[in-house]
Amino acid sequence: MDNLEKQIIDLIIEITDEEDVAEERDIDLFEEDILDSMAAIELLVAIKDNFGVTIAPTELEREEMNTTNKIIARVRERM
């Protein structure tokens, strides 16, 4: 696990209070009630503050960022 992955996972844990997201990185976070639209916006703001990566609210469909791994991939694409 590289540094970026660890930082993003820590952010998701901080926002959702769910430790599982570090282990089960392919579960659907919206289906499991771990993320809701509010927490997702908070995550986008945190990603912008921490990595300087801006993701506009309508840029991604929910299916493109609904798991821990997908969120990491979306940030990595834009670094």
Partner 1 sequence: MDFFVEPAFFVLCVPIVLIAAILGMRERPLGRYGLVASVLMLALLFFRSIPSLIFFGAYLLGSLALYAWVAGLFRKEHPKAVALYRVALACQIAPLAIYKVGVLFAPDFPGFLGISYITFKSVQVLIEVRDGLIDNMTIGEYLSFLCFFPPFTSGPILRSRNFVTDLRTPLSRDAYLERLYRGLGWFVLGALYKFVGSALAHWGLWMAPAVISVPALSFVAESFCFGLDLFFDFAGYSNMAMGLGLMLGIEVPRNFHMPFAAKDIKEFWDRWHISLSTWLRDFVFMRFSSFAISHKLFKSRLTTACVGFMINMTLMGVWHGITPDYIVYGIYHGVMLAACHYLQKKWKFYKRHKRDRWFVAASWLVTMVVVFFGFALFGGYVVSPLLGLSS
| Residue 56 · residue 24 · CB < 8 Å | no
- Closer Cβ to partner 1, 12 or 44, answer by number: 44
Q: Does 48 bind partner 1 (CB under 8 A)?
A: yes
Is residue 37 near partner 1 by the rule CB under 8 A?
yes
Query: Is 69 a binder of partner 1 (CB under 8 A)?
Result: no
- Contact status: 41 vs partner 1 (CB under 8 A): yes
Q: Would you say 47 and 75 are in contact if contact means Cβ atoms under 8 Å apart?
A: yes
Interacting residues with partner 1 (CB under 8 A): 37-39, 41-42, 44-45, 48-49, 56-59
